[in-house]
Structure 1
Amino acid sequence: MSAIITGLLLHHHEPMHFHASITPNKKKWHKAFAAIYCSRAFLSTTAVAVVVDHHLSHLVKNKNLLQLSLLKGPHGVAAALKTNPLHGITGDDQDLAARKTAFGTNTYPFPPSKTFLHFVIEAFKDPTILILLACAALSLGFGIKEHGIKEGWYDGGSIFVAVFLVISVSAVSNFRQSRQFDKLSKISSNVLIEVVRSGRRQEVSIYDVVVGDVVCLNIGDQVPADGLFIEGHSLQVDESSMTGESDIVDVDIRANPFLFSGTKVADGYGKMVVTSVGMDTLWGEMMSRISKDDTDEETPLQSRLNKLTSSIGKLGLAVAFLVLVVLMIRYFTGNTEDENGVREFNGKRTKADDVINSVVGIVAAAVTIVVVAIPEGLPLAVTLTLAYSMKRMMADQSMVRKLSACETMGSATTICTDKTGTLTMNKMMVTKFWLGKECFEEGMNVGRSVVELLREGVGLNTTGGVYASDEWVEFSGSPTEKAILSWAVAEMGMDMEEVKRGCEILHVEAFNSEKKRSGVLVKRDHEFHVHWKGAAEMILAMCSHYYDLEGNKKGLDDEERLQFNHIIQGMAASSLRCIAFAHKQSDEMNLETEKKIEEDGMILLGLVGIKDPCRPGVKKAVEDCQYAGVDVKMITGDNVFTAKAIAVECGILRLGQDLDGCVVEGAEFRSYTDEERMERVEAIRVMARSSPLDKLLMVQCLKRLGHVVAVTGDGTNDAPALKEADIGLSMGIQGTEVAKESSDIVIMDDNFASVVTVLKWGRCVYNNIQKFIQFQLTVNVAALTVNFVAAVSAGEVPLTAVQLLWVNLIMDTLGALALATERPARELMEKRPVGRHEALISNVMWRNVMAQAVYQIVVLLVLQFGGEGVFGVSEKVKNTLVFNAFVMCQVFNEFNARKLEKRNVFEGLHKNKLFVGIVGVTVVLQVVMVELLNKFADTERLNLGEWGICVGIGALSWPLAWLVKLIPVPQRPFFGYVCFKRWRGA
């Protein structure tokens, strides 16, 4: 009934026919429909749409076969929706706009993004920030009380400002990262769906599917909306995403024609008419009840760094506590003096306000040490480098679905790649045709009866389609299907519509990766015919006869079978995919009793050779991987000869190479014992005629041997291997939705060269984070040591709370931004893979950290204890020199951190303008702090000579780094081996 309303709504100018679908309430409904129809203006369009949506959506959701039968089944609903099962909707702008207005769009409201205020509040939850704010408030209060508003606000106010800057920068960084991730999430959910409009198959965004659309479904596709099955064969759907059950559901036009949004096609193919979209679907109802998870995705490396941060923070807390205790003891025992040399504490003679103010200052100094010690810049560096890398990778045709994949890819040791569309262009063309023992490359001079059978075998046993207009012909389907269809149209003059009109399809065996063939049983002129199409050697094994040029049937003895095998091998050796066609007349009773199409006693119709050329640049990409120490293995469903030929062409195998153990077939690999597989799997370069199980077995074996495995795939059958792999890489063009959802990264152009780009970026992410760890640890070790030694020996900290907060701000945030945005360098591909068990903090990093930290500690302590005498300056100028020299050391050491091992730290510097800009901003801000914000930063202006001293001290870190990098380091971690053992890994 609701379908009739729909028809009226969309095409009110056509006459109504109620008699076929009136319910028991026919009088009531009839009057309502007549009122709506007679209004002509449809003033209550919205109300009508609500009624239609309610009834149609509930019909499908409740799987109401009785109500569906009253509407003459799926075809009756399609007719009422003004949809032609063959030609779909008109699809013009007016039609689409009317349907979207009436029934809504196929979109779901995205959960609200976290606001900037949310991240500000999160930053305020940091306990050290709260303690600092409390200290700042007390210092501000006592300062104003003692010195008045004009000068009393400096100490407390400066801490407030510094804390405000730290919170602001942290909140802005996290907010931008959240927005970036939300944006990428929306892009990843925008998939292409094949629909039929005006008789033409075309791809549209899932968001543009409308009620009434005829959607084409193939294995691995996602059902884009709720709807009804109208035609197809052997369609099976995985409804686990809706029901939680793993059972596969058969879809049939009579018993179960209902299809639900979000489910996946597990087998077969078909068409559906869309009845509900967006929030009116069952999936939409579920989405409306799901609230956004408050927890952000945390990558494994972020988790490891958070543990590292926690441990360093605990060390900083212990140092801060010791400093607090020492300073308190020195203060209350009268061992500290003010600027005028007067003891700060004189027992009862000291004012209570002075005592509290001094204690607050000591606590603030201790808390600030904790703030500096905690390297919150480490997680920030990961966030920044991942966000930057994800954005750049998107421009390089790689969409990251899971953050962890960025960093894990840098550790990859093996890439298991498929062939079609990844190594090859997936632009297939039939270049050879064999009938009997005769080969045709252009033109076909064969018997008419054979041509008719070939037209049937191509036109009926396919999931593709042909759309012909007066000016051009368009083919749809998989690349293989399109190649065969275009060949049949061009060489045999096949008219697909004419072929279908003359035959009735009774049963279909859909193609899948296990069988590697598809079959169809058809009825023509009261006769039953079976057609099979698939991998040549498998179809040949089903045949007992073959047709010659005149269409005569000849027996296929062992000698002739061997000749056909040689033909197949010859085409495969020429990098041709060989597809065979077979036919026989059948007995319908076989279908009724066994529910399967006959497979024995077939007659070979012919063989076609399909050329799929290698992608330009793929050989260079494979060589780049091998040069980087990453093993490339090709896993394909093609026969061993085609696989070898493509592998040689791509550089995976080399001419003259001993292929013993390098090339295996899936069946052979499957037959190995577990021990044999573990022994041989590393040597395998090519696996031919593989099944999904073979691919999964190989990944599992490699992982057990300690490899970090990346897998490329595009089919539903690849999903288990994509999930099992450390990094799953699906194809954005030919990949099914099941494959994409099982993967971590989507290669948008299906090109292996983009896989190499992902590998480079993965290594770059890991390397950038290591650079920042080295840089950050140097700052922490130097600051903690200098403040602790000075506090214990002299009873004061040379770096004040505001100064340490400033160092924390520019070193953590600006330093992370500078080092996290380094782009991939060629040197990254010259190293062996990091692997699964490499230490995060390498010996090289420890060597660099300790050398620079010791240098900074020595120089700063000399300035602290001898600066006044050596340079003849006041204590305040000396303290400013210590602060300024410390910052300059970090500025120059930032250049050293760019290269962990190379001595030339300026290589490629001109390409990273952001790094140069950040360093420039840091220097300018430091000049402002020292020269202009004296009261805020508790500094004294420096003359040019004193600035030269500070810059010179910082610049000495360059030759020191050059010399230190000459020192060889052992492979086994020698420092912090026990402490950091739990952070080892990829």
Structure 2
Amino acid sequence: MGDQIPADGLFLDGYSLQVDESSMTGESDHVEVDSTKNPFLFSGAKVVDGHARMLVTSVGMNTAWGEMMSSISQDSNERTPLQERLDKLTSSIGKVGLAVAFLVLVVLLIRYFTGNTKDDYGRKEYSGSNKSIDSVLSGVVRIVSAAVTIVVVAIPEGLPLAVTLTLAYSMKRMMNDQAMVRKLQACETMGSATVICTDKTGTLTKNEMEVTQFFVGQDLIEKDNSITSNVRELFHQGVGLNTTGSVYMPLLGSKPEISGSPTEKAILHWAVSDLGMDMEKLKPSYDILHVETFNSDKKRSGVLIKKKNNTIHVHWKGAAEMIVAMCSSYYETNGTIKSLDEDGRSNIEKTIQGMAASSLRCIAFAHAQISEKEIEYSNDKAHPRLKEDGLILLGVVGLKDPCRPGVTKAVRICMSAGVQIKMITGDNVFTAKAIATECGILKTEDVENGDQVIEGAEFRNYTPEERMKRVDRICVMARSSPFDKLLMVQCLKQKGHVVAVTGDGTNDAPALKEADIGLSMGIQGTEVAKESSDIIILDDNFNSVATVLRWGRCVYNNIQKFIQFQLTVNVAALVINFIAAVSAGEVPLTAVQLLWVNLIMDTLGALALATERPTDELMQKKPVGRTAPLITNIMWRNLLCQALYQIAILLTLQFSGESIFNVTAAVNDTLIFNTFVLCQIFNEFNSRSMEKQNVFKGIHRNKLFIGIVGITIVLQVVMVEFLKKFASTERLTLWQWATCVAIAAVSWPIGWIVKCIPVPDEPFFKTIKRSLTNKRNVRAPRTPSLGFGSRTKVQVPEFRNQDKMPDT
């Protein structure tokens, strides 16, 4: 007892061997090892009772522990789903930006060298051989700088900043919600999660055995004061003296400190808190004559005690069916003793079966009072033998590891959000089914469904094809090893799921490492599990897992908001500069102005949209998964409508602004620049929500957003009014400022109307491609005439393959 098993091996011989395999399985219950039913011993497990000899079969890295440690020591360089999407997006934007910049460069160079551009004095910038090299180089450099500026504006450099700001802000806020983020990318990956594989013990349950049902005779005891004092005293004897645990009361009024196995701790806690047992007063009143230790074959323990008044009592405690078989009568709640006839025995057995069906561990107590003459001794007459028949049944208690408060609600929230919950546990099938049903993971009508409840060995023995076929249907996997859990995660990832795994033991480390998001427990979790995880749940509660899911979706949503906002700026700037360059030979927005727009929109815009808090609506959507596009149809609808409005307004100002407002070209360029920036500021409000029409809801709570918008407006006023040479701007009158604000403010009603337009679920470009393909395939019906000049026409079927068309 107390030894740690040094290697993997097989049980050869021994007695009452019980081991603690929590380091391997995560289950706190002790495992009985024998030569028939369970002969396997694993390195790292601890002996808690008995003794044995073993045959060593593997050592070092070949043991189960060694294989597990080697699997988590491998570094994983996988890209997160969002990183993969951002790589594709930035690559596409870069290609488009380079293409537009190259076209603008070519068009401007052609116009320059063909003499179609003029300087400030109305003269041709390039007139052939009489032009100096310096002036030609100056013109070419100006054209190249315009093209380079378009590339700079097209590529959203603020995207990494926006992502980092969003993740960092959310990471700080999640700490207040009992989630410590170890790896920044885990925040956004959790938002894409489609499956959560959760442990049972310590995550869904408290990892503390509790007495939940108590029967005296055939009666369920709701209130413990309903039993008589003599029956209560017998329970005090049977619990307090027939135990391997201990109770210590440190101070008056404080909670007792109870030690022992999980079962012993639960029974002692029940006896102290519900039955009023006082161990300090109880023990001095009795002399313990003999103790029969727990035996894995007999599944019971007994004690022979002598009270100070010389009465002798025998108490047995153990598996309910074993103890009931030793009894011939039972106590009723009023203290009377009733004979245990066939009907009574049948009723009590049905009660025990009902408790077992509810995954309760049934422990029964029996008692008998004997005289000194009735004490029997063993063959060597050294130890007395305890009476084993004709006992009186005291009662039966049912123990279970109860679910944590709020787990059922958290599971329901996750499932309503479209996230599958799979419970993977090392416990037996019956307990796993009961807990899964209680938590809401498994519906009552699906409890007997073989596809949804499975044992680890069965899943392990499937062929790869069978595993991939059935993995989606499995809700509960019981009696699982660490490698079964790892195999489940690998199968789910191969099917395209984004997998989150929760766990607390060293046994969970391989699955935590393999998963897209690993969530370890901060209180019960081992250091190995924490090191293998991405997020640590500080309160060990599944409710916090649901909170992390909310934050993950919020992070992903905030990043999408910024991308929508940023692409609106990029699309408008690219189109305006390209059309103006092709038609007029010059770009309306100078390099400094475009870089200024890029600076304030990338940095300040990212910071403003990164600080939105999660909302309940986020948990009512389906998960985005691994393959969903980063830019959704809703985002395309919003950004294209806003970009088209900005393009229409700015091109109108570009070609007709001087005549409309009766201003000079310099003032008109300033109006274009100012209107463009103000449109982005107003559109920033629209970007707060991609679907809601009321974009001002809750804005008073986001003081950072209001502050950033205010700073942006102040900087723009300074840019226009005081940095004339630097920004190539002219001072504007109040009426001109009011006109710019009025034009930009139209973005709000446009955003409100646009959000009423329904969009298909299919990705934007797939919809366009399909519609174009359908148009190419549609052909007019053929109506050939019968012979020359005949007016009679007969419809004939259309044949795609003209070679197979029959003769008419």
Query: Are 1:311 and 2:99 counterparts?
Result: no
Query: Are 1:973 and 2:760 counterparts?
Result: no
- 1:402 is aligned, of 183, 187, 190, to 183
Contact 1:218 1:265 in 2 (8 A): no
Over 3 Å counting, the alpha-carbon distance change for 1:448 and 1:828 in structure 2 is closer
- TM-superposed CA distance for 1:563, in Å, is 7.0
| Residue aligning to 2:258 | 475
Over 3 Å counting, the alpha-carbon distance change for 1:331 and 1:508 in structure 2 is farther
Over 3 Å counting, the alpha-carbon distance change for 1:559 and 1:728 in structure 2 is farther
- TM-superposed CA distance for 1:397, in Å, is 0.7
| Residue aligning to 1:388 | 169
- 1:570 is aligned, of 341, 349, 354, to 354
Q: Which digits, 9 at most, give the CA deviation of each residue in 1:797-850, with x for residues without a partner?
A: 111111111011111111111112111122212222223332221112122222
| Separation in 2, partners of 1:880, 1:450 | 91
| Separation in 1, partners of 2:348, 2:478 | 20
| Residue aligning to 1:239 | none
Contact 1:772 1:819 in 2 (8 A): yes
| Residue aligning to 2:610 | 820
- TM-superposed CA distance for 1:453, in Å, is 9.1
Contact 1:417 1:632 in 2 (8 A): yes
| Separation in 1, partners of 2:119, 2:430 | 88
One-letter code of the match for 2:416? Answer: Y
Q: Which digits, 9 at most, give the CA deviation of each residue in 1:278-315, with x for residues without a partner?
A: xxxxxxxx9xxxxxx9x999644134313421331232
- TM-superposed CA distance for 1:393, in Å, is 0.9
| Residue aligning to 2:412 | 623
Query: Which secondary structure state, in structure 2, belongs to the residue aligned with residue 399 of structure 1?
Result: strand
- TM-superposed CA distance for 1:862, in Å, is 1.6
Q: Which digits, 9 at most, give the CA deviation of each residue in 1:184-236, with x for residues without a partner?
A: xxxxxxxxxxxxxxxxxxxxxxxxxxxxxxxx9973799xxxxxx9x97699x
| Separation in 2, partners of 1:324, 1:867 | 25
One-letter code of the match for 1:627? Answer: S
Query: Which secondary structure state, in structure 2, belongs to the residue aligned with residue 823 of structure 1?
Result: coil
| Separation in 2, partners of 1:505, 1:351 | 112
| Separation in 2, partners of 1:547, 1:881 | 98
Q: Which digits, 9 at most, give the CA deviation of each residue in 1:258-282, with x for residues without a partner?
A: xxxxx9899xxxxxxxxxxxxxxxx
| Separation in 2, partners of 1:362, 1:770 | 34
- TM-superposed CA distance for 1:890, in Å, is 1.2
| Residue aligning to 2:375 | none
Over 3 Å counting, the alpha-carbon distance change for 1:504 and 1:446 in structure 2 is closer
Over 3 Å counting, the alpha-carbon distance change for 1:902 and 1:458 in structure 2 is same
| Separation in 1, partners of 2:555, 2:184 | 11
Over 3 Å counting, the alpha-carbon distance change for 1:943 and 1:482 in structure 2 is farther
Over 3 Å counting, the alpha-carbon distance change for 1:449 and 1:621 in structure 2 is closer
- TM-superposed CA distance for 1:628, in Å, is 2.3
Query: Which secondary structure state, in structure 2, belongs to the residue aligned with residue 245 of structure 1?
Result: helix
| Separation in 2, partners of 1:503, 1:765 | 65
Q: Which digits, 9 at most, give the CA deviation of each residue in 1:914-936, with x for residues without a partner?
A: 22221221111111100111111
| Residue aligning to 1:219 | 23
Query: Which secondary structure state, in structure 2, belongs to the residue aligned with residue 841 of structure 1?
Result: coil
| Separation in 2, partners of 1:508, 1:768 | 60
- TM-superposed CA distance for 1:902, in Å, is 2.2
Over 3 Å counting, the alpha-carbon distance change for 1:842 and 1:218 in structure 2 is closer
| Residue aligning to 1:837 | 627
| Separation in 2, partners of 1:870, 1:497 | 102
Query: Which secondary structure state, in structure 2, belongs to the residue aligned with residue 905 of structure 1?
Result: coil
Query: Which secondary structure state, in structure 2, belongs to the residue aligned with residue 610 of structure 1?
Result: strand
Q: List aligned pairs for 1:493-642, cutoff 5 A.
A: 546=326, 566-571=350-355, 576=360, 578=362, 608-610=397-399, 614-634=403-423
One-letter code of the match for 1:830? Answer: Q
Query: Are 1:459 and 2:263 counterparts?
Result: no
One-letter code of the match for 2:82? Answer: L
Q: So what's the TM-score if we normalise by structure 1?
A: 0.57
Over 3 Å counting, the alpha-carbon distance change for 1:817 and 1:450 in structure 2 is closer
| Separation in 2, partners of 1:568, 1:664 | 27
| Separation in 1, partners of 2:527, 2:133 | 72
Over 3 Å counting, the alpha-carbon distance change for 1:571 and 1:960 in structure 2 is same
Q: Which digits, 9 at most, give the CA deviation of each residue in 1:631-669, with x for residues without a partner?
A: 4455556666766665565455677x5755399654499
| Residue aligning to 1:245 | 61
Query: Are 1:853 and 2:638 counterparts?
Result: no
Over 3 Å counting, the alpha-carbon distance change for 1:503 and 1:798 in structure 2 is farther
Contact 2:181 2:534 in 1 (8 A): yes
| Residue aligning to 1:670 | 458
Query: Which secondary structure state, in structure 1, belongs to the residue aligned with residue 751 of structure 2?
Result: helix
Aligned length: 669
One-letter code of the match for 1:380? Answer: L
Q: List aligned pairs for 1:760-799, cutoff 5 A.
A: 760-799=550-589
| Residue aligning to 1:366 | 147
Q: List aligned pairs for 1:159-238, cutoff 5 A.
A: 219=23
| Separation in 2, partners of 1:571, 1:479 | 19
| Separation in 2, partners of 1:333, 1:265 | 70
Contact 1:732 1:747 in 2 (8 A): yes
Listed as ranges, the gaps of 5+ residues in structure 1 are 1-215, 223-228, 236-242, 251-262, 267-285, 287-292, 510-516, 521-531, 588-602, 980-986
Over 3 Å counting, the alpha-carbon distance change for 1:218 and 1:725 in structure 2 is closer
| Separation in 2, partners of 1:621, 1:763 | 16
One-letter code of the match for 2:601? Answer: M
Contact 2:455 2:477 in 1 (8 A): no
| Residue aligning to 1:711 | 501
Q: So what's the TM-score if we normalise by structure 2?
A: 0.69
Query: Which secondary structure state, in structure 1, belongs to the residue aligned with residue 23 of structure 2?
Result: coil
- TM-superposed CA distance for 1:679, in Å, is 6.7
Q: Which digits, 9 at most, give the CA deviation of each residue in 1:861-905, with x for residues without a partner?
A: 221122112221111111111111111121122122222222222
- TM-superposed CA distance for 1:691, in Å, is 6.0
| Separation in 1, partners of 2:702, 2:507 | 43
- TM-superposed CA distance for 1:469, in Å, is 4.5
Query: Which secondary structure state, in structure 2, belongs to the residue aligned with residue 729 of structure 1?
Result: strand
Query: Which secondary structure state, in structure 1, belongs to the residue aligned with residue 764 of structure 2?
Result: coil
| Separation in 2, partners of 1:609, 1:311 | 63
| Residue aligning to 1:12 | none
| Residue aligning to 2:160 | 379
| Residue aligning to 1:320 | 101
| Residue aligning to 2:747 | 957
| Separation in 2, partners of 1:715, 1:627 | 29
Q: Which digits, 9 at most, give the CA deviation of each residue in 1:724-772, with x for residues without a partner?
A: 5443332222223333334332221122222221111111111111111
Over 3 Å counting, the alpha-carbon distance change for 1:308 and 1:653 in structure 2 is closer
Contact 2:324 2:364 in 1 (8 A): no
Query: Which secondary structure state, in structure 1, belongs to the residue aligned with residue 672 of structure 2?
Result: helix
Contact 2:240 2:268 in 1 (8 A): no
| Separation in 1, partners of 2:243, 2:89 | 62
| Separation in 2, partners of 1:431, 1:852 | 61
- TM-superposed CA distance for 1:519, in Å, is 12
Query: Which secondary structure state, in structure 2, belongs to the residue aligned with residue 824 of structure 1?
Result: coil
- TM-superposed CA distance for 1:488, in Å, is 6.9
Higher RCO, Cα 8 Å, sep 6+? 2
Q: Which digits, 9 at most, give the CA deviation of each residue in 1:99-126, with x for residues without a partner?
A: xxxxxxxxxxxxxxxxxxxxxxxxxxxx
| Separation in 1, partners of 2:356, 2:581 | 79
Contact 2:498 2:516 in 1 (8 A): yes
Q: Which digits, 9 at most, give the CA deviation of each residue in 1:539-593, with x for residues without a partner?
A: 6799996578999xxxx9x9999877644443356785556899xxxx9xxxxxx
Contact 1:771 1:897 in 2 (8 A): yes
User: Is the deviation greater in 610-619 or in 738-747?
Assistant: 610-619
